[in-house]
Each structure stands twice: as structure tokens, then as C-alpha cells.
Copies of this chain bind each other. A is one copy, B any other.
Amino acid sequence: MELKSYLNERLRLVDAALDRALPSEQTRPATIHKAMRYSLKAGGKRLRPILVLAACEAVGGRIKDALPSACAVEMVHTYSLIHDDLPAMDNDDFRRGKPTSHKVFGEGIAILAGDGLLTQAFEVIAQTKPQPRYPTAKFVLELARAGGSLELIAGQVEDLEGENRAVSFDDLRYIHERKTAALIRCCVRLGAMAGNATPAQLKAVTTYGHGLGVAFQIIDDILDCTATTEQLGKTAGKDAKANKATYPSLLGLEKSRAEAARWTESTLKAIARFGKAGEALRALADYLLKRTY
């Protein structure tokens, strides 16, 4: 498949849906809606929503039914970046090549913009069309669990607490699995649910999503110490500077690359059953492993 045109087409579809899912910049109070839209439009690759749609297709669903989930996961992802970039957390001034929310709007509005996106995510996903196997409430529950204090937030907490202290390899896996893999796994599960997946299909995309999420974060760690700030669109070398444990710092670069490849392989194996319908999921895993920024 021609991945580039596929990604472009899907990106346009997701962007249009996100635009419809948020109050306009003129809606009172204008500040908060400007801030919510600023971060949501800050040029992400829309990897997560595209994964939602691809998983829906893999199980034979209609992507229209997966659009609310696609928008909701992007909102959760964006809220977590806004809060993560705050001075009290990672204290980053740039994200995707643009000044972070608190640099543009101030800390108070940045916190509220994150809160607003998180809340809006649930408003959007609560409007999902129920499927025979999955009532709408199941979608809400899935997102709340992946974004909650045992998953996404747990990863942020241990990441924050891990700076400047010894972190074991087990701790690092705990952080990666929660900070990154939990939401990516959630993406493909939501997509599959929107396509009324059988239990076996749901299990297959779960294995795929978990492996892809772990591989994705390992590669993020690698790029932080091999790519430039310009390539990344965010400050490079931050992990080393913050004395953060990463795959390269604990295992070395070569072993880290092998680990990422191993996880990617396991994801491809998990979705072999989908045949041609799983082509997009396959291409996405391949693309993410080979990315250089």
C-alpha cells in the first residue's frame, strides 16, 4: 500500500472530525478554546487516531463508527502533553516545533486547556454508536482506564519521580508500558470495538497495540539521544540532561534497537490473522519502527 497517501487521507479525515468536535475559537470563553485548539492543531502526526481507524477496518468495521474514539484518544494524548510540558513536570518550552501551551497562554490557562481536552474526550466518546457486542459505556470505560491512575497517569507519576534517582529496568518497563503503550493499546481496542470485533479479534489487536506501544517508546528514547532538536520538533537530549533512565542508558543503543525490532515483530505476528484487512496496521508498525524523527 502507498502509506504516505493513506496517512495523508486519514489525517485530513481526523482533522475534520476534530474540528467538528471542539467549540470554535470564538466561543466564550475564547481563551480556553483558542488554547485547546492551539495544542490540538500543533501539527501532530495523528498516529493514535489513525491507529483507531485502522483497527476498525482490520476487523471489518466502518471507520465512521470509530471517529468519536479517534477524536477522543487524540484529545487525551494532547491533554497529557500539555500537562507534561508544564514547569512543574517536564518543563519544556517547545513541542512539535512550536512554543508549548503555558509559554503562549500562561500556566493557569494551560492547566485548564488540558482539563478541557480531557473532559471533551469523554463528551465525544459518549456519543459513540453502540455495537451489538459493545454498548457505548464500554468505550468510555476503556478510555477512562487507559488514561487513569493505573495506566497513563501512573506512567507520568513514575517518570516524574524517576528523575535523578536509580531506575531499574523493570521500573523502566513499567513506565513505558503505562506512559505510552496503555493509550496506544487503547486506540486499537477502541477501533476494534467500534468495528464490533469478536473476542479473538479484540485479543489480537490488544497484543499488537501493546507491542507497538512499547516499541514506539523505545524508539522515542533512542531518538532523544541520536536525533537533533530540529528533527524532533522538541528539545533533544532531554532525557540524559534530566538523568532519566531510558532504554539506551540502561541497555545501550544496539540492544535497544534489537528490543524495538523484537517488539515490532511480535505485533506483526499478532495481526497476521487479519490478512489484507490488516494491511494498514502492518504498514503503520513498519513505519514507526523505521522512523528517524
Instruction: List residues of A whose CB falls within 8 A of some B CB.
Output: 23, 27-29, 31-33, 36, 79, 83, 86, 88-89, 106-112, 114-116, 118-120, 122-123, 126-128, 130, 135-137, 140-141, 143-145, 147-150, 153-154, 156-158, 160-161, 174
Q: A32 and B119: CB pair below 8 A? A: no
Q: A116 and B32: CB pair below 8 A? A: no
A276 to chain B, nearest CB (A): 34
Copy number of this protein in the oligomer?
2
Q: What residues of B have a CB within 8 angstroms of the CB of A107 in the complex? A: 88
* A108-B160, A158-B29 known; A126-B137 Cβ under 8 A: yes
Q: What residues of B have a CB within 8 angstroms of the CB of A128 in the complex? A: 137
Q: B116 and A118: CB pair below 8 A? A: no
A131 to chain B, nearest CB (A): 13
Q: A140 and B122: CB pair below 8 A? A: yes
Q: What residues of B have a CB within 8 angstroms of the CB of A147 in the complex? A: 119
**A31: contacting residue among B119, B123, B157, CB under 8 A:** B157
The 4 closest A-B pairs by CB, nearest first: A88-B107, A123-B144, A116-B149, A136-B137
Bound Cα distance A114, B148 (Å):
11
Q: What residues of B have a CB within 8 angstroms of the CB of A106 in the complex? A: 88
Q: B111 and A83: CB pair below 8 A? A: yes
